[in-house]
Structure formats: structure tokens, C-alpha cells
Amino acid sequence: MSFEGLIGQEHAVGLLENALAGGTLAHAMIFAGPRGVGKRMAAVRVARALLCREGPRAACGRCGACHRVDAGTHGDLYVVEPESSRSGVSISQVRALAAALAQSPMEGERKAAIIDPADSMTTQAQNCLLKTLEEPPADTTLMLLAENTDLLLPTVRSRCRRVNFIPLDEETVRDFLIRRGEDSESAAVLARAARGSLERAGEMAEAAAAGERAKLIEALAGDEGPDSEALRDMICGGRKGSLRQRRESALFSLEILHSFTVDCIRFSAGAAPGASVDVTRRLEAFAGRHGFERIARLEKDLADAIIMIDMFADVRLVGEKVAAATERLRPLDKS
Ligand SMILES: [Zn+2]
């Protein structure tokens, strides 16, 4: 079993297993699909099968080569990643990789290389890689991991076999979170917010554990009325770091708020709340205070905000819009 533990990617796994078993694995492949759905794990598993002493059809999982692949210390496995969270894979990294792949293997008979994320390569870096793709060394397998394959040059794409990885369905992500110890209520919210990515779900679960969810609901539905400033700060000012991390942090906050308003609407319509006692109390008060129509409008504003983040709108701008939307709830607080 080379691909155990890889959840929800039966199609990709089937393709790779067949290619390995039949000796028809392409020399260059693009693993295309969203972040955190198993592309990297699959690439490492392919490398393990190729480099295993019992390989290359499947990995034994026990030999020294298998262990060194897992530990990331195998001399014939090259993993190229950006040197910092703000840069992409550079031309000098690709040059170094090309030079290494032109040499004979150090340990066994094959070499494997993973570029992750390959869509972070500059045009120059991709052009440099093209030479290797045009005449791939016979003993080499190159795997390019990409979320957005449109960022890869057509000449690069045309020289690679594409293997598609799909976003996982909500249920799969939810089960994964429940197995990790989340209660079913937070698992459901997180699964929705994770957009089919186990990695993102895991990160969000950690953030949620820090109580962000309770803080957000308190800021929206506290007894004093919405605290728009706090909400804006939580949406915009989340985890510092790369743009991607800030977008995901904003998305996480927005999903929690959105899910709360959806629950409010269901509650107003007479559905039994599936939420915990604490949250149910908040739901009830919030629904009573603001009424169906205004909550429905807020729900739409939040859904729009989520779409904006998905479409790469500026996080701060989205935060301001949501703050303004919650501000509109305030004047009628006391009426
Ligand atoms: Zn092995």
C-alpha cells in the first residue's frame, strides 16, 4: 500500500497506482488541485515507491530508503520550496535542481523531484525548468504541485501529465475533524469554512481552539449590540503573516459569523437549533433583537464578503464593509 492515509482522492490515487504498477508513470506530472487536499502527500508517496529498495511499483514502507524519504533525507529526493513565505520558487533554485537532476542518482537507480508550489515559480524560473522538461533524464520523475495551473506556462503544462486532486467534500472534512477531537458543532462550521482542504481545516481548528469563535460571536451578538470595530479588527487583523494566511484568517472569521446568521435565520423560522446551549442563548437573543429581515440582510452581506475574499478582494476593504453592515444593526438596538 503506497497511498494509505490519503483521503478522498480515489481518482488521482488510482491513476498513480496504475501508472506505477504498469511502469507507465510520466517523467513529469502536474498535481493540480487546491491546497491541503493531499497533493504533497501523494507526491511523497510516489517518490517513496520510486526510491524504495523494493520499488518502483510500490513502496515497502520498511526499508532504509522508504524511511529516508519519509524523513526528507533521501539523497535522490529533491523538494524545492520557496525560500520565504513571501517569495516564489526562484530561477536559481530551479537551476540548482536541473543541475542535480542531470547527475546520476546518489543512492539507488532513480531520482524524484517535487516543486511545491510550482505555480509560485517566476516566468524565468519556469523557462529554466523547460529545458529539463524537454529532455527529462530517463531515471527522473518530476512532480509539479499547483493550486492554480493557469500560472504555469502553456509550454510547461503541455510537457507534463496532469493529475487532478479535488476539494474534499464537507462530510469528509467534518469526519476528519471529529476524529481529531472536535465536537460535531465546530467540526461542521470548520468543515464548511475549510473549502475542502484538510490542511486548512486543521489550521482553523487550532485557531478555533483558541476561542476565536466565541469572541466573534460575542462581538456580533453581545448584549451591548454588535461591536463593529472589534469585528473589523478580528476579520482584518488575524494571524499576521503572508497574504494567504491573512485571507484565510479573514475567511475563517467570516464563515463563523455567516454560519451564526444562518443559524439565526433557521431559528427564526422555527428550526430547532443544533448549537450548544451558550450559542443557542446568543441566537435567541440576537434573532429577537434584530428580526428576520435585518438578519437576512446581514447574512447576505456576510456571504458577499466571503465571495469577495474568495475573489482576492483586499482583506481590509472587506473588513470595513462587514463593520459597516453590522453598524447598520445598531440604531434599532434600543427600539
Ligand atoms: Zn522500501
236: Cβ–Cβ under 8 A, 6 or more apart, which residues? 246, 250, 315, 316, 318, 319
Using the mean position of ligand 1's atoms as its centre, give its distance from the Cα of residue 66 in Å.
Answer: 4
User: Residue 240: its pLDDT value, please?
Assistant: 60
DSSP state of 23: T
User: What are 143's strand-pairing partners?
Assistant: 29, 114
CA of 58 to the centre of ligand 1 (A): 8
CA of 119 to the centre of ligand 1 (A): 31
For ligand 1, the distance from its centroid to the CA atom of residue 156, given in whole angstroms, is: 31
Amino acid at 143: M
Strand partners, 31: 145, 163
**Amino acid present at 232:** R
pLDDT value at position 334?
46
DSSP per residue, 287-335: HHHHHHHHHHHHHHHHHHHHHHHHTT--HHHHHHHHHHHHHTTSTTTT-
With beta carbons less than 8 A apart as the criterion, state whether 219 and 257 touch.
no
Q: Which residues of the chain have pLDDT under 50?
A: 333-335
Ligand 1 centre from 52 Cα, in Å? 4
Ligand 1 centroid, distance to 81 Cα (angstroms)? 25
Q: How far is the CA of 98 from the centre of ligand 1 (A)?
A: 26
Q: How far is the CA of 56 from the centre of ligand 1 (A)?
A: 9
CA of 110: how far to CAs of 14, 17, 121, 130, 180, in Å? 22, 18, 25, 20, 37
Sheet strand arrangement including 111-115: 77-80, 111-115, 140-146, 28-32, 161-164
Q: From ligand 1's centre to the CA of 2, what distance in Å?
A: 10
Taking the centre of ligand 1 as the mean of its atom positions, its distance from the CA of residue 114, in whole angstroms, is 19
Q: For residue 142, how far is its CA from the centre of ligand 1 (angstroms)?
A: 20
Chain centre distance of CA 126: 23
How far, in Å, is the centroid of ligand 1 from the Cα of 78? 18
* Distance of CA 153 from the midpoint of ligand 1 (Å): 35
pLDDT in tens, 250-284: 888 998 899 889 888 888 888 776 666 677 888 88
Q: Cα–Cα distance between 197 and 183 in angstroms, integer?
A: 18
Separation between Cα atoms, residue 136 and residue 274, nearest integer Å = 56
Task: Annotate 162-198 with DSSP letters as a single string.
Answer: EEE--PPPHHHHHHHHHHTT--HHHHHHHHHHTTT-H
List the Cα angle 170/174/177 in 5-degree steps. Answer: 145
Distance, CA 65 to ligand 1 centroid (Å)? Answer: 6
What is the pLDDT at residue 66? 92
Distance 3 CA to ligand 1 centre (A): 13
Ligand 1 center to 69 CA (angstroms): 9
pLDDT of residue 273: 65
Separation of 67 CA from ligand 1 center, angstroms? 7
